[in-house]
Structure 1
Amino acid sequence: MTMRTRVRGWRWRRSPLRRRCDVLEAWALLAVVVLLAVGAPLAGVAVGRRVYDDARARAATQRAERHLVTAMVVEDAPPAVPSPTGRQPSYPVRVRWSAPGGDSRTGLAQVPAGARRGEHTRIWLDSGGRRVGPPVNASAVWQHTLLAGLFTAGAAVAVVIGVHFAGRRASARRRLAEWERDWERTGPGGGATRPDVRGPFRAWAVERGADGPVAAPPGRGRARNQAWRPSGGPRTV
């Protein structure tokens, strides 16, 4: 039975089996960890703070420009219906109000179910007397801030992970090319009988390449162990 032991942290140790690409992968992994643990949260906080300041300023402007007035309902709303919670829905119906210049205007406004013609309701107007929605409240400001921060942090995580995996794939292709060159130098007959990496050996190498240097592939002698160097940690056989 063959026993294999993975040596952890081998990329940070001096070893004749360690190559330059192994060192670069170690530093790249460290950079990914730092970006995920520190960079992404900081990006989310920075964007959230900016969005919070903008939302607060916009809410203050709306509160200064908008005001409540009394409007009269000019058509009946749909009748109220029994509800287990006792709450009734609201419906858009036509109402009439007076503009700042004294002109009478009409428009749609949400009124409770069962409202009758001639009743009064409260609506928001801007400085020009036009029908608008209520100003943004503190709850909406915080909700917008949290969504922006979370989206930014999530996007940063997705970009970092995507770049990391793309780099690993490029490194794996480069490592396969290095194995071919090594086999040409160390294989029997100076490379005349090197294995076809386009066939089953390629799948064998890729499958084990993520875990580090291993013994020679099945059917090869121990004397050529150093010719086969997938990218993970050294193993003993």
Structure 2
Amino acid sequence: MIAALKAHAGWLVHALGLARNPLRRPIDRVAAAISVLLLLVALAAVPAAAVFGKTLHERLAERAAVAAATSHPVTAVLLTPPSLSTPASEGYNQDSLTSTASVQWQTGSGPRTETMQVPAGSSRGDTLTIWADQHGDRVPPPPTQSSVTASAIFAALLVLLIAELACFGLIGGTQHLARLLALRGWEREWAFLQRGGTWSQR
């Protein structure tokens, strides 16, 4: 890894003209300019990802606040013993088994009954806490502050990782293409010399 970075850095110094080299070609300068531009983009991606993460955190926090304001926890009672079920899309294995039961909770318009997944080992008459909206319909619990922060950080890091990999991948591809074009140029000129040409005739 370190050797590869040193090789890229050495090539970039040579291509930019920071060290005098009569073998430098125009394609080297073009590739070097593109590499420098991509390096600047990679550096700019760091604060950009931070801004993205901050903005996403604010939006997720707003949604979590709305969810918390429009839902509330209620106590539900198991009406039936839990039964094991296997999703039709999955083969039989221990991880694919789930426990479901008929559950009932009270709403402003009367009792509400629904079949839902329940903890393994539950029994009829057991209670569990679920979240319901203002109409009594079951909804997911609102995200916690820690989950909102974790989601925003993960998304920001993922965006940064993709941007950095894309930039350095393009840098490596650009330099590799420049080397190939330079080698082909040397091969053509060497063949020209072997046919009796001179450097002054290029």
1:43 aligned partner: 48
Residue 40 of structure 1 and its aligned partner are, at CA, apart by: 3.2
Q: Does 1:99 pair with 2:103?
A: no
Check conservation: 1:74, 1:118, Cα contact below 8 A: yes
Whichever structure has more helix as a proportion of its residues is 2
Q: Which runs of 5+ in 1 are unaligned?
A: 1-5, 79-89, 192-223, 225-237
For the pair shown, which has the larger CA radius of gyration, 1 or 2?
1
Q: Which one of 41, 55, 58 corresponds to residue 60 of structure 2?
A: 55
- Letter of the 1:122 counterpart: T
Alignment: residue pair count = 174
2:181 aligned partner: 174
**3-state SS of 1:161 partner:** helix
Per the alignment, do residues 113 and 174 of structure 1 end up closer, same or farther by CA in structure 2, a change over 3 Å counting?
A: closer
1:12 aligned partner: 18
Q: State the distance in 2 between where 1:183 and 1:113 align.
A: 77
Q: Deviations over 1:134-187 (max 9, x none)?
A: 111112112211221121111112211221222123212321232134335544
Q: State the distance in 1 between where 2:192 and 2:134 align.
A: 84
Residue 49 of structure 1 and its aligned partner are, at CA, apart by: 1.7
2:164 aligned partner: 157
2:70 aligned partner: 65
Q: State the distance in 1 between where 2:127 and 2:197 align.
A: 97
Alignment TM-score, normalising by the size of structure 1:
0.61
Q: Deviations over 1:7-59 (max 9, x none)?
A: x64441344333323333444444444444x2332232132122212211110
The alignment yields a C-alpha RMSD, in angstroms, of 3.1
Written as runs of structure 1 = structure 2, the 5 A alignment for 1:87-236 is: 91-101=99-109, 103-109=110-116, 111-112=118-119, 115-184=122-191, 186-187=193-194, 189-190=196-197
